[in-house]
Structure 1
């Protein structure tokens, strides 16, 4: 049985692209976008930007649609918000019919220094979605490490915790 590539991608991307404005709305988030978790790693803003870039990178070859031109730089709140709005609008127009030929297709792409050709399911489920979430989590983590008061609920929009909540035994620093 093959995966429903539309159900596995479009609503997931739409939900989490919509979380980026929620993260950036928190006090101090725009100022914390330059935070790096470790030297040599992308900043929080660069990671959120990269996560956004994985949406068209994943869906254009699978659907034959073309994403709108996304502003490239700087990795600041206004640019990230504009990119999220453009992606949200584009995602709203992608239907299951756009994936009609995707199950039989292969995607040739570059991952770091590796040239890969993957079946559409493998490309989406084992490469594109995990990389999207890697960069989204790295962006969230950079903001959190900079002291922005974010919770798991800010990340996924599902969880709810009282203000100041901490898991037992964790250091609140």
Structure 2
């Protein structure tokens, strides 16, 4: 369970930080404020790039904490710049690095229960990782990638995969 979660998510967050760096460089080269990228959306009813990254990091730290049976750190969700979002990713990775394999391995049958607004969720540890955490992390990282790409940042599949 550890090998299927922590290294995979850590790599994707590292790649996300790198493509954000390319977004910052792109904005500087084109002479506009990177905040425009942070606030960009694919469509009006979707979250902006900054929120996509906040959700990807929240899902990463929260999901892994639930699997490990520990409390995740709380972040303020107040990032407005690319460097702030990169710092958030770095804090998430730092937290992930504190989780030991023995905290997660063997949690396949652990009951995971939580609520989001009025919705109640129940999973086993394995289903939670494979059906909830990983798909959500990948969705929000992919959406962040797509937002940067849509705005002209020169990134491709190799950047996404690392």
Structure 1, unmatched stretches of 5+, are 158-173
Q: TM-score, normalised by structure 1?
A: 0.80
| Counterpart Cα distance in 2 of 1:86 and 1:67 | 11
Q: What TM-score, normalized by structure 2, do the two folds share?
A: 0.85
Shift in CA distance, 69/110, structure 1 to aligned 2, threshold 3 Å: closer
Report the alpha carbon displacement of residue 103 of structure 1 after superposing the two structures with TM. 2.3
Partners of 1:107 and 1:123 within 8 A in 2: yes
Correspondent of 2:154 among 146, 149, 165 = 149
Kindly provide the CA deviation profile for residues 132-152 of structure 1, in whole angstroms up to 9, marking residues without a partner as x: 111110111011111111111
2:31 counterpart residue number = none
Q: Which moves more between the two structures, 25-34 or 53-62?
A: 25-34
In structure 1, distance between residues paired with 2:83 and 2:76: 10
Aligned residues: 153
C-alpha deviation, 1:71, in angstroms: 3.9
Partner of 1:35: 40
How far apart, in 1, do the equivalents of 2:109 and 2:156 lie?
A: 40
CA deviations over 1:21-71 (Å, ceiling 9, x no partner): 201111229341211111111112211121111012211111023333334
Larger Rg: 1
Q: How does 1:1-150 map to 2 (within 5 A)?
A: 5-26=1-22, 27-28=26-27, 30=34, 31-100=36-105, 102-110=107-115, 113-150=118-155
By percentage of residues, which structure has more helix? 2
Whether the aligned pair in 1 keeps the contact of 2:53 and 2:141 (CA below 8 Å) is yes
Q: Which structure 2 residue ranges, 5 or more long, are not aligned?
A: 29-33
